[in-house]
Structure 1
């Protein structure tokens, strides 16, 4: 028996622990924690539980984008979550990522009228083995864990790195961005994030610039139960870009994860035509593409 309930932030750790058992055929538990802390989950989210009250799946829907995740052999949850998605979509067009290792989710969706969406692109990602790699940090810069009393500076570094108008988008994208727009990351969001399962201040990395300011930041979510770590997010302050700092942070992550017994670092990125910089940067750093699945779609536009 699968029972559904509305998602609340109090359930975040329970969902994360379920996701830990399913990764890499799904969202990394650290990535889910980041989405929850920063209000980036879909606007409508439900959680599936079995008869013993254990989280066995979840689904979300917002602006024509759906998500369904459950265990690989859980036909009941796949069907119930697919029904929830169809009902909440109300006949509108919905695109859903389906991982290769989740044929039951694919089957549940196709039985309800979903078909392959050739225009949506693959579910991608990037991976790098954890290990003692060479990390080339430019002269005068230093990678370290953030200090306990550095919250405000850490948040401001993120906000400067992710200010929409200063992102390295192509000109046709940047020209449509309001210069006054700001990152959604706040001290309140950071406070929530720090209480999330898998958050570790020693793996919340910053780059200290020659003038002692913070030139960039990178949160590493390491799951010791699986050995997988996810980088989410990583950003470089605009004045310090093009010095190889993003590459240095990513490779330092590989070293730190290996030291903790992990085996792989994952980045939830895709080769987006409107934002090619991250994908290209991590490929140059030695990360390899990961083909995770495809998209299914249904409904009318």
Structure 2
């Protein structure tokens, strides 16, 4: 089995850059430059043995890729075990080669034979919707419901940026000003169930295009790290992406998320970005993140349409 390593990751990100430049609404929300970097780096140790991948080339140019995660059992932070019984596919094809999705799905059938298969298509991608339907997939009613787990992908031009306003005594920091342990602690304070380790975060820091000066945090008056967000800057397409974004559970509903977003957008613009993306829960039952992003000027670009091919 070939390992999905940093060289392969960079190739996948290269295709993400091409799609970003010409048809960003066809980017799968899990297949952006920043999302690929974040997911690969944080999960490499725990999920790497369950990953399978395949690339498709035309004239030595990567035009499609597939990244499957097979069923697995991994420990949670509370020492319990988490069973994942379905396979999941992250994928991308070049907008000029949509027909390759059929070959990609054939490969997925082979590597995930005998288990339920999950994947996502975008609401803006009518061609891919038709191809996955012809291949036996159906809309996942549970994941795609009004209280489901589906994701909305949002965009904002970096113009007309209001200045951020922090509560008295709070201040902005970057990851270059704190230790790895503190950065990981801030992440866990925002996502208590996260399994991010120090080793995994060190890998995040080594993964292109991570920059510690674009990893923004907010410190409370008592020096508690109250919010954290990583901004991934792609200088080639002049786009940036927030992933992940979170606030300490004890500091929510104080406007920190809004301030952090605006501050991060100012930093991204100063670094050369003209547009920024962010994904968030899209279901009506979980409006908080979407409302915050809309409040600082983001608008929906596309949304996930979760698909399932059940074995029974």
Give the TM-score range, shorter chain: 0.7 to 0.9
Deviation per CA, 1:145-190: give whole Å up to 9, x if none: 22355222111111222113xxxxxxxxxxxxxxxxxx21121111
1:239: how far off? Answer: 2.5
Count of residue correspondences: 280
Gap runs ≥5 in structure 2: 71-85, 145-149
Tell me the SS of whatever aligns to 1:291: strand
Distance 2:280 2:166 in 1: 23
Gap runs ≥5 in structure 1: 165-182
Tell me the SS of whatever aligns to 2:34: helix
Give the direction of change, closer, same or farther, for the CA distance of 1:271–1:254 in structure 2 (3 Å limit).
same
Among candidates 120, 132, 153, match of residue 182 of structure 2: 153
User: Does the 8 Å contact 1:200/1:221 carry over to 2?
Assistant: yes
Does residue 56 of structure 2 align to residue 49 of structure 1? yes
Distance 2:130 2:2 in 1: 23
Q: Which runs of 4+ in 1 moved over 6 A?
A: none
Q: Which one is further off, 97-106 or 146-155?
A: 97-106
Q: Which one is further off, 235-244 or 192-201?
A: 235-244
Deviation per CA, 1:212-244: give whole Å up to 9, x if none: 332221100111222221111112222222211
User: Does the 8 Å contact 1:127/1:288 carry over to 2?
Assistant: yes
Deviation per CA, 1:61-87: give whole Å up to 9, x if none: 442433331101224532221101122
Deviation per CA, 1:265-285: give whole Å up to 9, x if none: 211112346754322332333
Residues 26-65 of structure 1 mapped to structure 2, 5 A cutoff: 26=27, 27-39=31-43, 43-50=50-57, 53-59=60-66, 60-62=68-70, 63-65=86-88
Does residue 213 of structure 2 align to residue 217 of structure 1? no
Does residue 106 of structure 2 align to residue 93 of structure 1? no
Tell me the SS of whatever aligns to 1:262: coil
User: Does the 8 Å contact 1:99/1:123 carry over to 2?
Assistant: no
What TM-score does the superposition give when structure 2 sets the normalisation length? 0.78
Distance 2:226 2:135 in 1: 49
Who is 1:179 aligned against? none
Who is 1:15 aligned against? 12
Tell me the SS of whatever aligns to 1:290: strand
